[in-house]
Amino acid sequence: MKIVSVILARGGSKGIPNKNIMLLKDKPLINYSIDASLSSKTHETWVSTDSQAIKNVALKCGANVLDRPQKLASDISSSEDALLHFSEHVDFDILVFLQPTSPMVLSQDINAGL
């Protein structure tokens, strides 16, 4: 059984520009979710993004990256549509959906959910 996690991180945040890669205690915000996933029982950790900057950070942190089309990364795009796009490109049996803006989620939390 293949367990993968996905972190949806679009680049077009208007409230706080580049929030997903802003530093929080010397690490990009998204790094906390990536680390939690990499330390959990998931087999693969993915970031779905439309942003080259987020892609670069995600790869540096050890995640796989799926390039998301712009039409699925607008202010009116839904997470559900981005998750469906992900499911069309990555094979898995169980999907763990993590938020890049939830740095307090730990690998133990992911494992408990599984």
Separation CA 60–CA 71 (nearest Å) = 26
The answer to whether 101 touches 12, Cβ cutoff 8 Å, is no
Q: What is the pLDDT of residues 87-99, one digit of tens each?
A: 999 999 999 999 9
Q: What is the pLDDT of residue 14?
A: 74
Task: Identify the segments of the chain with pLDDT beneath 70.
Answer: none
Contact 95, 87 (CB under 8 A): yes
Strand partners, 46: 6, 64
pLDDT for the residue 8: 96
What's the CA gap between 75 and 61, in Å, rounded? 26
Beta strands 23-24 and 44-49, pairing class: unpaired
